[in-house]
A and B are shown apart, each in its own frame.
Chain A
Amino acid sequence: MTVQLDHRPGLGRLYAKAVATARSRRGDQLPETSVEMADVTIDREQLASYAEVCGFRHSDVLPPTYPHVLAFPLAMTLMVDPSFPFPLPGLVHVANRITQQRTLRADERLTLRVRATDLRPHPRGRQFDMTIEATVAGEPVWAETSTYLRRERPRSSRSAKDPSPQPGEGQGGGIAPTAIWRVPRNIGRRYAAVSGDINPIHLNPLVARLFGFRRAIAHGMWLKARCLAALEGRLPHVLTAEVEFKSPVLLPSTVGFSSQLKGSTWAIAVFQRSSGRPHLNGSIEA
């Protein structure tokens, strides 16, 4: 079944619904529904704001991460559907893969389609994928798979006690950073403003505490966008950018970023500057 939206739904209402219905959600099946919106146009002002927050430059092409923001209200629509089994608060974004068949331009109209698929177990609960497909006039041009974790079991004792990097885990540990980023305190609020993702764990340290974080944390998709922006001018136009979010970036933070080109693949990582503990590991392939 397809739900066709003819305009972008208001995020405020969706959030209200998400919070109101959080407690009643249960089940072991994802809805079959897909949410679709045709002819999504690009608001250049909004695009400019997004570019500024993430570090992309103003141009006539879309950052590869931008359709994620365009599709965000669709994903929200799906996740507040009565048939959706998980409450939105508390879902953890653990991985994201974006595939772009070609550069997208700001003057194109995108058709976006969002689905939830592949519910499966995870050592700490259950995980599933939110997939977004973007087409321009029927031609598939962009796709994204975001993996979310619903935590249902506590962390295993080993990882709870030991925040230092696991052997072999992540490229962050031991690698000299290509760049040092000072991630400002307000980045959560700024990204929320341009993405519509106003999850309070990114905005407010007190709420973040309720969910077990010492401070507010940066959006995973901001971090990924920041990584791609750091490779401005170097990215191929056909690409697959895949990242795992290993641990949240507490705000504010100073983090290390590393990029290495092997063949036609960039290995990228973001890690805590002091300990080398990985925040994000990933690769960008042509």
Chain B
Amino acid sequence: MKLKIPGVPSPTRLRRYAPGQPLVDGPVLVGGAPGGKLRDPICEILGRAGASVGESPSAVAEPSRWSAIIFDATGITDIAGLLALHAFTAPAFRNLRPSGRLIVLGTPPEDCPQPKAAAAQRALDGFIRSAGKEARLGSTANLIDIAGGAEDAIESTLRFFLSGRSAYISGQVIRLTPATPMPTPDWDHPLRDRVAVVTGAARGIGAAIAETLSRDGAQVIVLDVPAQGAALAEVANSVGAIAFQIDITAEDAPARLATYLKDRYGAVDVFVHNAGITRDRSLVNMPAEQWSSVLAVNLGAQLRINEALLDQNVLRPGGRVICISSTSGIAGNRGQTNYAASKAGIIGMVQALAPVMAKGDMTINAVAPGFIETAMTKAMPFATREIGRRINSLNQGGLPVDVAETVAWLGQPGTAGVNGQVIRVCGQSILGA
């Protein structure tokens, strides 16, 4: 009856966002290589957010000093320039507070005509991924590549990566492309007056997304299959959302959904494709219906709904479509040929639709969760699950809210420069890295 197992040490508790929380929990060290032009805008953003700014890494050597280190590397054009990065970050990195942030701003290597500049910029990539692995106590390291002309669109992204909202994202490279962000009058409620739709919202990650979008000010419509209606109504009433029971795989679902949204809201601003199922089997044992049902729910429905959203102008200018993919879709996973195919397919769809969306001042992105503690991961065998939890830089599984925060950031009116990308929320898992 009783099985005694040895205890496992508990991982660092990550700093996660709560309403009213300041952007950072201590001073921010800001530096840059010569030629970078972002220090002033960064300091302005930090000033608006009420964060105090330090500029000299060696001024204080006390541990747990910096809540974040931001380095503007956009001006680096050769190997020598990289030395400044080392000189600035090396002494300060050890003084990061728990759940601290190392954020490096770079220039996309492909935008650098000179090979030596492209090499130096690409070097940042390896640097940040390694720093992510060296970071301790819940700290993260991320690189934001800013294309020429995108300098005005950094605020929502910088705030996101500084804050507790990005707790489970590390070792990632985000690309900002030129775009005109819409203003965000209230950074405590960046989604105020926006209408957002979340599929698969009765439980787990979907419910967390609904709650987070609602917390950030959006009017949320939550969708799930009628059979989940009781849980869906509970979610809706808990977070002040509206419940719409619909089987998104039904033949007439895209049309019904489009009609419903246009009738009720005229148009919507944010559409989150979260609904997904798993039917795990090894390839040789997988019946066709398990293959088909996973592709139909996870991918087919998204394609058909996106088509309806665009054809019938259901999305307003500034619209955001966010599709939940998975690291399984990037790295593959045993027993998940169907699931991984569907989740990789989402990435293909996002990349193909991004230029189309950009024409209408809209964006589409994928969020690829790694090991998130949900009912779906519960279905995994014990060893696989425990390994999944541990083989990442933060040494723990993420929570549904970590995915939700990422979705909310991509849904913001200010996040216009992020388009066609796959944002991994995986704690820098080694899978598919």
Q: Do chains A and B touch in the complex (CB under 8 A)?
A: yes
Q: B4: which of A1, A7, A61 is its contact (CB, 8 Å)?
A: A1
Tell me if B400 counts as interface (CB < 8 A to partner A): yes
The answer to whether B375 touches A137 (Cβ under 8 A) is: yes
The answer to whether A1 touches B238 (Cβ under 8 A) is: no
The answer to whether A61 touches B234 (Cβ under 8 A) is: yes
Tell me if B230 counts as interface (CB < 8 A to partner A): yes
The answer to whether B399 touches A5 (Cβ under 8 A) is: no
Tell me if B267 counts as interface (CB < 8 A to partner A): no
The answer to whether B4 touches A102 (Cβ under 8 A) is: no
Tell me if A4 counts as interface (CB < 8 A to partner B): yes
A254 to chain B, nearest CB (A): 34
The answer to whether A139 touches B238 (Cβ under 8 A) is: no
Q: B234: which of A6, A103, A139, A236 is its contact (CB, 8 Å)?
A: A103
Query: What CA separation (Å) do A156 and B312 show in the bound complex?
Result: 77
The answer to whether B399 touches A102 (Cβ under 8 A) is: no
Tell me if B288 counts as interface (CB < 8 A to partner A): no
Query: What CA separation (Å) do A103 and B230 show in the bound complex?
Result: 12
Given the known inter-chain contacts A1-B4, A4-B3, please indicate yes or no for A103 contacting B377, CB distance below 8 A: no
Given the known inter-chain contacts A60-B234, A102-B238, A139-B400, please indicate yes or no for A2 contacting B373, CB distance below 8 A: no
Tell me if A154 counts as interface (CB < 8 A to partner B): no
The answer to whether B230 touches A60 (Cβ under 8 A) is: yes
Query: What CA separation (Å) do A2 and B374 show in the bound complex?
Result: 23
Tell me if A263 counts as interface (CB < 8 A to partner B): no
Tell me if A23 counts as interface (CB < 8 A to partner B): no
Residues of A within 8 A of B399 (CB): 139
Chain B's interface size range is 20 to 34
The answer to whether B1 touches A5 (Cβ under 8 A) is: yes
The answer to whether B231 touches A136 (Cβ under 8 A) is: no
In residues 1-20 of chain B, which contact A (Cβ within 8 Å)? 1-7
Residues of B within 8 A of A61 (CB): 234
| Chain B, Cβ-Cβ closest to A237 | B238
Residues of B within 8 A of A136 (CB): 375
The answer to whether B234 touches A105 (Cβ under 8 A) is: yes
Q: A139: which of B2, B6, B211, B374 is its contact (CB, 8 Å)?
A: B374
The answer to whether B231 touches A60 (Cβ under 8 A) is: yes
A 229-241 binary contact with B (CB < 8 Å = 1; else 0): 0000000110000
Query: What CA separation (Å) do A107 and B234 show in the bound complex?
Result: 13
The answer to whether B397 touches A138 (Cβ under 8 A) is: yes
| Chain A, Cβ-Cβ closest to B211 | A102
Q: A137: which of B2, B4, B207, B377 is its contact (CB, 8 Å)?
A: B377
Residues of B within 8 A of A91 (CB): none
Tell me if B264 counts as interface (CB < 8 A to partner A): no
Query: What CA separation (Å) do A61 and B234 show in the bound complex?
Result: 8
| Chain A, Cβ-Cβ closest to B208 | A102
The answer to whether B1 touches A2 (Cβ under 8 A) is: no
The answer to whether A1 touches B1 (Cβ under 8 A) is: no
Residues of B within 8 A of A2 (CB): 4-7
Query: What CA separation (Å) do A279 and B239 show in the bound complex?
Result: 33
Known: A2-B4, A105-B231. 8 other contacts (CB 8 A): A1-B7, A3-B4, A5-B2, A136-B375, A137-B375, A137-B377, A139-B204, A139-B399
List, sorted by A's number, 7 A–B pairs whose CB atoms are closer than 8 Å: A2-B7, A4-B2, A6-B3, A60-B230, A137-B204, A138-B373, A139-B400
Across chains A and B, which 3 residue pairs bring their CB atoms closest together, nearest first? A138-B373, A137-B378, A237-B238
